[in-house]
Chains A and B, each alone.
Chain A
Amino acid sequence: AQTVTQSQPEMSVQEAETVTLSCTYDTSESDYYLFWYKQPPSRQMILVIRQEAYKQQNATENRFSVNFQKAAKSFSLKISDSQLGDAAMYFCAYRSLQGGSEKLVFGKGTKLTVNP
């Protein structure tokens, strides 16, 4: 079974600075998807960014980008020009392409604090 590990329970960053959240995963599959979700205090799960494993190019979405290292099974999230609204729990997730189910396996999350 696949597992996702987020080794940083909490992180903090100054407003306008850059922060990187770490995620590693374990899988024997060669094709899959990886995601970062944001959960603000409202508890809504919001998709931040998605990466297809077969694509070597790292995904970017405005101030959010990933560093995807397939061989190392590493998938970190970089937030540039951090804003107060970025404060939230961030979850890394894995999605298998096998078995007929598109379920997500989540890490335990990283709580990000943005200091003004």
Chain B
Amino acid sequence: DSGVTQTPKHLITATGQRVTLRCSPRSGDLSVYWYQQSLDQGLQFLIQYYNGEERAKGNILERFSAQQFPDLHSELNLSSLELGDSALYFCASSGTGANEKLFFGSGTQLSVL
């Protein structure tokens, strides 16, 4: 168990809908990262938050947004969903500093039908 909790584990929805993925980082970790894993794109970095503030942004679509709350949990919001958004979405957390390891949650499998 990595200590990073993601809910839900599975999500099935229809095109055009909006969903929210939730992540609780390991106790004490201030950084939260979101990754998307798909067959064609592999593991892609989406966005990082550090102590409530956006720290880095990767290949995140404008239809996607995220935030980190004062209790450090994070949510990834996906809207106007398309078939191509079907993927495994990972959250990871780490402490402060580049020497800190990233710990991954077990992911949320999103299926857009």
Give 1 or 0 for each of B74-113: 1 = CB within 8 Å of chain A CB. 0000000000000010101010011011111011010000
Report the bound CA distance from A96 to B70 in whole Å: 27
Q: Is the CB of B42 within 8 A of A109?
A: yes
- Which of B90, B100, B102 counts the most A-chain CB atoms under 10 A from its CB? B102
Q: Does A56 contact B (CB under 8 A)?
A: no
In whole Å, how far is B1's beta carbon from the nearest beta carbon of chain A? 9
Report the bound CA distance from A47 to B100 in whole Å: 12
Out of A44, A102, A108, A109, name the residue touching B102 (CB < 8 Å): A102
Q: Is the CB of B98 within 8 A of A97?
A: yes
| Number of B positions contacting A (CB below 8 A) | 24
| Number of A positions contacting B (CB below 8 A) | 22
Report the bound CA distance from A28 to B59 in whole Å: 21
Which residues of B line the A interface, CB within 8 A?
2, 31, 33, 42-43, 45, 48, 55-56, 58, 88, 90, 92, 94, 97-98, 100-104, 106-107, 109
With contacts A44-B2, A45-B90, A95-B98 known, what are 17 further pairs, Cβ within 8 A?
A43-B109, A44-B104, A45-B92, A100-B56, A101-B56, A102-B31, A102-B97, A102-B100, A103-B48, A104-B33, A104-B43, A104-B102, A105-B45, A106-B42, A107-B42, A109-B42, A109-B43
